[in-house]
Amino acid sequence: MTLFEFLMAIASVVIAIALTEIFGGWGHLLRTHILPKIDWLHLCWTLVVVLYAIQYWVGIWPYLNVEFRYIYQVWFLIFPTLFIVLVSFAITPDIDPDENFNLREYYLSRRGPIFFGLAAFLAMAQLADLIIPGVSFEYTNPSSYLGVGLIVIAIIPAVSKKIWMHTSVLIVNLLFVLSIGFGYLPSGLST
């Protein structure tokens, strides 16, 4: 097993934990009395977190040919996965199927951990591209600048309860991950 394969195994397990938490949360929501109904904003943000987790995992692949000489290089590829797990746990409610539950209230009450965690995930993913030798920030790649912008705007929903702000940041993030996913933007290595 190469060091890269070992790294991918660790990243895969951590990403799987994040995805399991969100998918399990969706399953619990289907069994719960949700007031008044499933919240579109919460659901869309969980989808964005899922897309970021998958995109990051796939984005590790270009590191296949990078020679990892120091453990800190591995840390910078693994740390973003830890933050996406924390975001997954923060955004997914732990609810009793027999209780009435308001998803919008939950989402707004957890906005700090969700969005500070998302900003940390995005920042760590960008740092990986800067710190690991053999990989560099592509100044001509628009997704590199968008990634930095996403770090900054991820903090807006953390400090605001205004739904239009949450929606605006959601649209920007959703367009970003979908644009990379469908090949409209060149993908960075990790975000």
Number of domains in the chain: 1
Q: Which two tokens stand for residue 154?
A: 């991820």
Residue 98 domain-assigned?
yes
Per-residue DSSP letter, 57: H
Q: What pLDDT, in 10s, does the model give residues 12-30? A: 999 999 999 999 998 888 8
pTM, 2 dp: 0.88
111 within a domain of the structure (yes/no): yes
H-helix or E-strand containing 101? strand 100-102
Please report the pLDDT score of residue 133 as a whole number: 63
Radius of gyration from C-alpha coordinates of the chain = 17
Number of Cβ within 10 Å of residue 151's Cβ equals 18
DSSP symbol at 97: T
32 within some domain: yes
Lowest mean per-residue pLDDT among 16-20, 66-70, 83-87: 66-70
Residue 191, domain member (yes or no): no
Please compute, for residue 104, the number of CA atoms within 13 A of its CA located in the half-sphere on the CB side.
Answer: 12
CA neighbor of 191 nearest in space, from 43, 54, 19: 54
Please report whether residue 34 resides in a domain. Answer: yes
Following DSSP, what letter does each residue of 110-121 receive, concatenated?
THHHHHHHHHHH
Q: 190 lies in a domain? A: no
Higher pLDDT, residue 48 or 140 = 48
Q: Please indicate, yes or no, if residue 188 is contained in any of the structural domains.
A: no
Backbone angles phi, psi at 101, to 5 degrees: -140, 135
Please tell me the least confidently modeled range out of 8-17, 64-73, 89-98, 118-127.
64-73
- Give domain status of residue 131, yes or no: yes
Contact 143, 116 (CB under 8 A): no
- The SS3 assignment for 80 reads helix
Core vs surface per residue 34-64: b (16+ CB within 10 A) or e? beeeebebbebbbebbbbbbebbbebbeebe
The residue range of the domain holding 113 is 3-182
> Which whole number is the average pLDDT over 89-96?
90
